[in-house]
Structure 1
Amino acid sequence: MELDLTTFLMEVVNFMILVWIMNRLLYKPVQAVIAKRLAAMDQMRSEAERIRTEATELSQTYHGRLATWDAEKTELRRQLQTEIAAERQRLTADLDQELDGMRDKARIAEERQVEERVRLSEERAIAHAGRFAAHLLSRIATPELGKQLMDMLLEDLAALPDEQHRSIVESLGRVDSVVRVASAYPLPDDSSQHFEVRFREVFPAAKQFSFSVNEALLAGIRVNTGPWNLSANLKDELSFFQGGINGD
């Protein structure tokens, strides 16, 4: 087979035309499509990388928030436990104080009951002693004892405190002042005159005297001048002994 130069050249030309046509109509569009797809893939890869980065950041943020929340929960739990302990301590202290107050009230109430029982016992004992003393004194009350008590009162007048002495003098200085003398037994004239003389020795301002009988005095006398009550009798001594107040 002989190689025909013309045919060879024609084949070469045909091949070159085929190459140009393929390059024009097929290769460049394919390259453009490939390049476009590569660009799309790069964009998708970049987008995926961005999403992965954001996911990593979100994951880190989430884990950070979880750690912070765990720390906050731990702190809140600690604060709550502290507050509960403080509240328990306060309530315990209040309860102890209330119990102490109740115990104190109960103790005070019991002490008052004991004191009341003691007071009642003392009052009963004093009343019993008073009745016994009154019965005894009523048996020894005589006019002679009354005269002795009157002399004792007259002796005590000279020893009165200065303030009381001045007050009695002022009372006797009034125009209508009367020295009222009550005795358990009627005083003989010499006894009443003796009393007036001795009384004026201590209180010269005494003007009028009034004598009366009060059998409740048992023995002795009681002298009233103005607001003052001077007594030396078994009744008032017995009342003083019983813790009472002069009566009649």
Structure 2
Amino acid sequence: MSSMIYKTNVMGTLNMLGLAKRIGARFLLTSTSEVYGDPLEHPQKETYWGNVNPIGERSCYDEGKRTAETLTMDYHRGAGVEVRIARIFNTYGPRMCLDDGRVVSNFVAQAIRKQPLTVYGDGKQTRSFQFVSDLVNGLASLMDGEHVGPFNLGNPGEFTMLELAQVVKETIDSSATIEYKPNTADDPHMRKPDISKAKELLNWEPKIPLREGLPLMVSDFRNRILNEDEGKGMK
């Protein structure tokens, strides 16, 4: 599984860069805040090189995306391919997979299904959550503009996992409980973008705070989970 993640990031990016070179297309690399690893700088600027464990359990993704950025810049400098690089921070919204393992979709699906919200570790690790339409606007600004990047695209609003769980409870079910489980290896303690560069050069910043965006995601999840339950009942 891990090797497939790495191959997708590396070979997939190489294939697409080769295609962009052949047909003269502008290439967008959707990279990730994971390139910063477990950051020692807070908030994270694009100039920060990161703190990644190269042999860790989750390094296939971190290092795969870091390699993809390397390849993208090599093709830009060496072959004249027009490229853009976005480092995307946690994003949520309607149409996400119900069980994709991401924390927002986990919490929302669990609360709707009347299951305990699963918090890994002590729940004090932080993340920043942007609504999907803000991300789309940022990517459009990046592709329409003249700057290569990389650009952090994320919402600087920072929440601990316990704070996120509380917002989900307030939105869906105030009686929801929290279940603690051991933390996963190399889980970053803090994650918050510095978006000064995107504000200045792309004239972009996110507009939708978590408490506004979450209900839009919840209504979509509720409809799909309800349909899922009805389908099971009919079998």
TM-score w.r.t. the length of structure 2 is: 0.22
Higher relative contact order, structure no. (Cα contacts within 8 Å, ≥ 6 residues apart): 2
Structure having the higher strand fraction is 2
Larger Rg computed on CA atoms: 1
TM-score w.r.t. the length of structure 1 is: 0.21
Structure having the higher helix fraction is 1
